[in-house]
């Protein structure tokens, strides 16, 4: 079985689903909790339909949504949320690529590369895409110390700036092709990445970008690892150096300053050749005098505390005070230890002194927001001073980090309803804040306010999803609830967002009205996903596009007649697909393929271009257009690429010229005329 066939297999998509579900990245995964539950309701049907749409080339990735998490540096980290179907396709692609490249890179695992050690689909516990990070962390530390003891006492450290954002799609594609990845796999991935990299934020314009991996999905870390494979290969060949890479954190261990300086420059040039940029070009060669002290500074060891916390659910007084004093010293010295803060606040006991420390240090509150809020929400859920601080923080017009406000609104479970908060959320342009606002209103049982909100086309999928859910759960009127669900279920758009809204709506219907079957046949047939649920038939590119573009239903018996001639139907779909895709980029090829489509349609009637005149009376509109297409094609450069009888170069058919002769209305009338009359032709 080839790579593409393995990709389009039920088992692969089933595994991809399991890997998404079991991903440890809870904050990101939280947005998909309802998607996962809804998708499972008709799991096999949903996967098979998604596979069918990919196979028929009807699948189109959707624009991604972004939000920004503040970093301790004062800047932000972009998090990209994909439509759930896109997320599933992304992981399914990663599964296949990982299997192919695994043999080429596994010798590097826990020797040169650490961190994102990925599994093959036939490894133990394949539902977990990556090995446990704790194991890799220990290997990294142990290997680092052993290398030092062997005389490599000098270290050069490189970090890369905006690593995920700078990954070039063309370079990544070439790396995959060079490592034996099927071109069809590469093409699909490249198409997806290009769509997800687009942005409209701040500028209200749609900019196409050719670089960047979406941060958030588990498999982006895998593709980032693959992007650095040429660097790993290159550095492993160098003599007198030990090369270690933990994700995008690179350490070179050498035996002298001179060798370190040469390799420092060599590595920087290699990194820049990949289109990446070192975080700090003023990297020095550092001599490690005491390896134990160096490792303590570099990596805090909290294993003892972690084990105690897990077994007891809280820290003893001594351990609590030691951690607290460490934090106090950090704040006083204005040298914040990121690892210390992130670790401690998830473990520390309730302590008024720590509460005051967090509220009095706004920089700490903003930069290390997640652990701070986790601590306050766990230890002081209803504290008046904390609640007052949070309300003022959210209501402030000055805060740029809207993500922080969104988390407070959505996750601080005892946050009461406040008009100032509602006003801030309503007027803010940040979608993530509105998303959390609906959760907050639902928690506070503000049903009348929720019912006043309506979804519009400008709202992204995640807004539509959460608003649907909270409104359904808040409604007492079953008639109104049914009407709202029907609206979502019969959404007529043909994109992944609409497909997921349909899945959500249909799942919610069966959850809310389990003994009242929903008659899907009542739908108007506008959404092909709905039609699939109704008919249980595979989606077909030719029939689907005829419906979407020209509003023509191709009869099943007509399709069967085409299929009677071996290979004709596959050629019909291919030619029609190429006609649509090549209109703007290769008009001559597009016309040639449309001519092939028309030829196959005529063949069903036992006719060809030479006998079209006999059909003029029965279907004049269709035959006139078919003849016009044939004449244009005969004059196109592609059909007769060199010169005509007068030795003149033949005309190139431009898109503008083609559009003036053949537009969608003209083709709609032609194909409608053809389909309406082909039965009569058969009879005569």
pLDDT digits (tens, 9 = 90+) for 238-260: 989 999 998 888 999 999 999 99
CB atoms under 10 Å from CB of 290, counted, come to 10
Q: How far apart are CA 346 and CA 368, in angstroms?
A: 12
- Using the predicted structure, report yes or no on whether residue 298 has a pLDDT greater than 70: no
- Using the predicted structure, report yes or no on whether residue 94 has a pLDDT greater than 80: yes
Beta pairing class for 113-114 and 65-70? unpaired
How far CA 305 is from CA of 312, 338, 349, 605, in Å, comes to 10, 17, 13, 80
pLDDT band at 203 (very low <50, low <70, confident <90, very high): low
Strands (E), 561-634: none
Closest CA to 115 of 260, 306, 251: 251
**Least confident span in 39-43, 326-330, 486-490, 647-651:** 647-651
- Using the predicted structure, report yes or no on whether residue 429 has a pLDDT greater than 90: no
**Least confident span in 3-12, 261-270, 488-497, 627-636:** 488-497
Distance of CA 272 to the CA centre of its chain: 26
Span 532-556, average pLDDT = 80
Q: How far apart are CA 297 and CA 337, in angstroms?
A: 10
- Using the predicted structure, report yes or no on whether residue 680 has a pLDDT greater than 80: no
| Predicted local confidence at residue 363, as pLDDT | 73
pLDDT in tens, 453-484: 887 767 889 999 999 999 999 998 999 999 88
Span 610-635, average pLDDT = 86
| Predicted local confidence at residue 467, as pLDDT | 93
Q: Is the dihedral of CA 551, 555, 560, 565 positive or negative?
A: negative
pLDDT in tens, 180-190: 999 999 999 99
What is the pTM for the complete model shown? Answer: 0.84
Whether the CB-CB separation of 371 and 341 falls below 8 Å is answered with yes
pLDDT band at 591 (very low <50, low <70, confident <90, very high): confident
How far CA 590 is from CA of 57, 162, 636, 657, 662, in Å, comes to 17, 41, 10, 13, 12
pLDDT in tens, 8-41: 999 999 999 999 999 887 778 889 999 999 999 8
Span 524-532, average pLDDT = 67
pLDDT band at 684 (very low <50, low <70, confident <90, very high): low
Could you tell me which residue, 57 or 214, shows the higher pLDDT? 214
Mutual angle of helices 496-512 and 84-105, in 10-degree steps: 110
Span 301-321, average pLDDT = 71
Q: How far apart are CA 343 and CA 323, in angstroms?
A: 10
| Predicted local confidence at residue 253, as pLDDT | 93
pLDDT in tens, 40-52: 988 998 999 899 8
Beta pairing class for 286-287 and 242-246? unpaired
| Predicted local confidence at residue 403, as pLDDT | 85
| Predicted local confidence at residue 351, as pLDDT | 93
Whether the CB-CB separation of 425 and 402 falls below 8 Å is answered with no
- Percent of the chain, pLDDT > 90? 35
Mean confidence (pLDDT) of the chain: 85
- Using the predicted structure, report yes or no on whether residue 200 has a pLDDT greater than 80: no
Residue 263, helix vs strand vs coil: helix
| Predicted local confidence at residue 70, as pLDDT | 77
What residues contact 47, with CB distance under 8 A and at least 6 apart?
Answer: 10, 13, 14, 17
* Tokens of residue 526, six digits: 């506008």
pLDDT band at 411 (very low <50, low <70, confident <90, very high): confident
| Predicted local confidence at residue 384, as pLDDT | 93
- Provide the CB-side half-sphere exposure for 211 (13 A, CA): 12
- Using the predicted structure, report yes or no on whether residue 449 has a pLDDT greater than 90: yes
- Using the predicted structure, report yes or no on whether residue 124 has a pLDDT greater than 80: yes
Q: Which residue is associated with the tokens 């092909």?
A: 528
Q: How far apart are CA 282 and CA 586, in angstroms?
A: 49
| Predicted local confidence at residue 168, as pLDDT | 95
- What phi, psi does 211 have (nearest 5°)? -150, 160
- Using the predicted structure, report yes or no on whether residue 308 has a pLDDT greater than 70: no
Residue by residue, what is the 3-state secondary structure of 400-418? CCHHHHHHHHHHCCCCCCC
| Predicted local confidence at residue 353, as pLDDT | 92
């Amino acid at each position: 079985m080839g790579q593409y066939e393995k990709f389009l297999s039920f088992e692969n998509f089933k595994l991809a689903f399991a890997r998404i579900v079991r991903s440890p990245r809870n904050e990101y995964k939280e947005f998909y909790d309802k998607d996962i539950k809804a998708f499972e309701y008709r799991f096999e049907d949903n996967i098979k339909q998604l596979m069918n749409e990919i196979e028929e080339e009807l699948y189109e990735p959707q624009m991604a949504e972004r939000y920004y998490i503040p970093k301790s540096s004062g800047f932000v980290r972009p998090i990209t949320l994909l439509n759930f179907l896109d997320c599933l396709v992304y992981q399914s692609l990663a599964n296949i690529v990982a299997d192919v490249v695994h043999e080429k890179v596994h010798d590097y695992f826990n020797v040169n590369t650490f961190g994102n050690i990925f599994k093959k689909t036939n490894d133990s516990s394949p539902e977990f895409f990556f090995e446990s990070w704790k194991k890799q962390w220990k290997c990294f530390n142990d290997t680092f110390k052993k290398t030092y003891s062997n005389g490599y006492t000098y270290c050069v450290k490189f970090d890369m700036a905006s690593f995920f954002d700078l990954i070039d799609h063309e370079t990544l594609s070439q790396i995959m092709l060079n490592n034996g990845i099927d071109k069809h796999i590469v093409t699909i991935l490249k198409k997806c990445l290009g769509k997800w990299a687009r942005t409209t934020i701040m500028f209200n314009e749609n900019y196409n970008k050719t670089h960047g991996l979406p941060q958030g999905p588990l498999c982006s870390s895998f593709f980032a690892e693959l992007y650095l494979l040429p660097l790993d290969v290159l550095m492993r060949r160098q003599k007198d150096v030990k090369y270690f890479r933990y994700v995008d954190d690179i350490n070179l261990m050498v035996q002298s300053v001179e060798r370190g300086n040469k390799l420092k420059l060599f590595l920087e040039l290699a990194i820049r050749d990949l289109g990446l940029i070192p975080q700090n070009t003023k990297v020095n060669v550092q001599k490690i005098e005491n390896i134990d002290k160096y490792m303590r500074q570099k990596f805090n060891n909290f294993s003892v505390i972690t084990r105690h916390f897990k077994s007891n659910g809280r820290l003893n007084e001594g351990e609590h005070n030691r951690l607290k004093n460490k934090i106090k010293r950090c704040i006083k010295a204005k040298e914040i230890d990121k690892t210390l803060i992130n670790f401690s606040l998830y473990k520390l006991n309730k302590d008024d002194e720590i509460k005051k420390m967090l509220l009095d240090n706004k920089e700490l509150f903003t930069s290390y927001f997640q652990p701070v809020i986790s601590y306050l929400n766990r230890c002081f859920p209803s504290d008046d001073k904390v609640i007052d601080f949070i309300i003022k923080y959210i209501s402030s017009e000055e805060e740029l980090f809207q993500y922080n406000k969104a988390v407070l609104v959505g996750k601080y479970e005892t946050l009461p309803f406040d008009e100032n908060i509602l006003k801030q959320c309503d007027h803010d342009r940040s979608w993530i804040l509105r998303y959390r606002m609906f959760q907050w209103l639902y928690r506070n049982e503000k049903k009348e306010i929720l019912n006043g909100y309506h979804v519009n086309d400008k709202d992204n999928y995640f807004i539509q999803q959460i608003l649907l859910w909270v409104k359904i759960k808040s409604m007492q009127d079953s008639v109104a609830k049914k009407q709202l669900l029907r609206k979502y279920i019969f959404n007529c758009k043909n994109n992944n967002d609409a497909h997921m809204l349909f899945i959500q709506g249909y799942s919610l219907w069966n959850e809310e009205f389990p003994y009242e079957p929903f008659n899907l046949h009542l739908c108007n047939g506008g959404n092909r996903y709905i039609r699939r649920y109704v008919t249980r038939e595979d989606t077909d590119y030719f029939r689907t596009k005829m419906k979407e573009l020209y509003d023509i239903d191709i009869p099943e018996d007509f399709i069967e007649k085409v299929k009677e001639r071996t290979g004709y139907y596959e050629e019909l779909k291919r030619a029609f697909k190429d006609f649509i895709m090549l209109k703007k980029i290769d008009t001559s090829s597009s016309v040639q393929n449309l001519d092939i489509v028309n030829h196959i349609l005529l063949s069903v009637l036992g006719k060809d271009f030479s006998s079209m005149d006999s059909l003029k009376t029965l279907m004049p509109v269709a035959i006139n257009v078919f003849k016009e297409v044939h004449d244009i094609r005969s004059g196109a450069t592609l059909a007769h690429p060199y010169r005509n009888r007068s030795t003149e170069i033949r005309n190139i058919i431009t898109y503008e010229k083609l559009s003036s002769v053949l537009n969608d209305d003209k083709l709609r009338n032609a194909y409608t005329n053809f389909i309406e009359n082909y039965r009569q032709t058969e009879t005569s």
